[in-house]
Amino acid sequence: MKSARLNDVLAAIDRENSADPTSVEYRGERLPLALAEGISAHDWILRLREDDPRGGPETLLIAARGHHIRRWETPRSGYPEGRQGYLAWRRHLYDVHARHLVRIMSDCGYGEAELEAVDRIVHKRGMKRDPDVQSYEDAVALAFFEIQFGPFADRTERPPLLRAIRKTWRKMSPAGRELVGSITFPAQLSELVREAVDDRGE
């Protein structure tokens, strides 16, 4: 059962993400992109942690729901082209997302240890070692596959697309990879995933 303050935080995240000017079809309705991504990642956490009656720690649920909070305000176009520009943009986004979540959590009565936990999860410190960080990584990847994989594939050449799938796959846990199979893809996207995974012997 969710605590009152968790419900308050999730509602506040959703209100902020509802301002995303980009929308997407998600579960039969048109939603702002960041809102859909947050709901998706949150729900994947519940599946990844289905043996936990809480659905996972509150800090993990908050991080997943807000993993792209207000992302549209920091566009990729504001950074140089190339890998170094991409990495600088991504590092800055981690800071932005963590800052917004800490602000909302503080307003709802969370303490310093919980704020630090969310900051750690959003910055992915301890991936492959910290189970909460790994679940977060899995949920974010699953949300990508569920919502953004199709559009990303449409605008990306095949070789870099296969590399991106392989890179995402390497970061996921066996449980996360298994859940990819529960997503219904168009045939051509399913084939891309199979090709990328099979090329790595997995």
133 in Cβ contact with 126 (< 8 Å): yes
* Dist CA 141 CA 174 (whole Å): 13
Question: What would the two tokens of residue 186 be?
Answer: 């168009």
Q: Which amino acid is at 121?
A: I
Question: What would the two tokens of residue 136 be?
Answer: 């977060």
Q: What is the dihedral of CA 81, 86, 89, 94, to 10 degrees?
A: 170
Backbone conformation region of residue 56, classed left if phi is above 0, alpha if psi is from -120 to 50, else beta:
left
Element (H, E) at 23: strand 23-26
CATH classification for the domain delimited by 4-199, as one of 1.10.3210, 1.10.12, 2.60.40, 1.10.3470: 1.10.3210
End-to-end CA distance of the chain: 37
**Any idea where the domains of the chain sit in the sequence?**
4-199
Question: What would the two tokens of residue 170 be?
Answer: 């390497």
Q: What is the pTM of this model?
A: 0.92
pLDDT by 10s per residue, the chain, length 202: 578 999 999 999 999 999 999 999 998 999 999 999 999 999 999 999 998 876 679 999 999 999 999 999 999 889 988 889 988 998 999 999 999 999 999 999 999 999 999 999 999 998 888 999 999 999 999 999 999 999 999 999 999 999 999 999 999 999 999 999 999 998 989 999 999 888 554 4
- Answer positive or negative: Cα dihedral of 73, 155, 140, 45: positive
